[in-house]
Amino acid sequence: MKHLIALLVQLFAWAQQPQYELVDAVRDGNLAAVRTLTARGADPNLPIGRHGWTPLLHAVHEQRLDSAAALLDAGAKVNRPGRDGVTPLMMAAGYGHRDMVVLLLRRGANPRLRDRDGDAAIDYALTGVNDVDRMTLFSCQNATAALLAGVPPKTSSARWARMKGCRVPSPSSHS
């Protein structure tokens, strides 16, 4: 039994290797490797790593616009959330990555989706995110919020944005 478990662990690690290579290529912005790995069967939708992020979420996190486009071309699901329920659009909006928000919206991202706490991408844009790599809680993501103006924010998100001195777009000001 011990040998069978060890074999299964080795097989699982071997099967995951292309996924880790894909995430590394995405995070490094290595488009040739992203395209090669997805063409050879690495799954652009499989969550991997300690956060349970898809490769597309890794691209958003690292602000790798070209990697994100290559993953979407390879079949990545634009609305697929990570383990915590956060979609790529929510993450991009919270970081204030305007170009990424534009790409995701053009590729079909749904700005009305909500995470487990009921927050939509507009809420992330207004409140910011608490991330060790890019803390945006105390800054304004006005450009990304303006792109998401068609979705009404939660009252608490709008209140926090106003306290920070940020613009809160009205639902009728959708650009």
Q: What is the pLDDT of residues 58-80, one digit of tens each?
A: 999 999 999 999 999 999 999 99
Residue type, 32: A
> In this structure, how many other beta carbons lie within 10 angstroms of the beta carbon of residue 31?
15
Q: Is the dihedral of CA 15, 80, 90, 86 positive or negative?
A: negative
More confident residue, 6 or 32: 32
Of residues 26 and 51, more confidently modeled: 26
pLDDT at 27: 94
pLDDT at position 166:
93
- Residues 6 or more apart whose CB falls under 8 angstroms from that of 140 comprise 161, 164, 165, 166, 167
pLDDT at residue 7 in the model: 42
The reported pTM is: 0.87
* Range 93-120 average pLDDT: 97
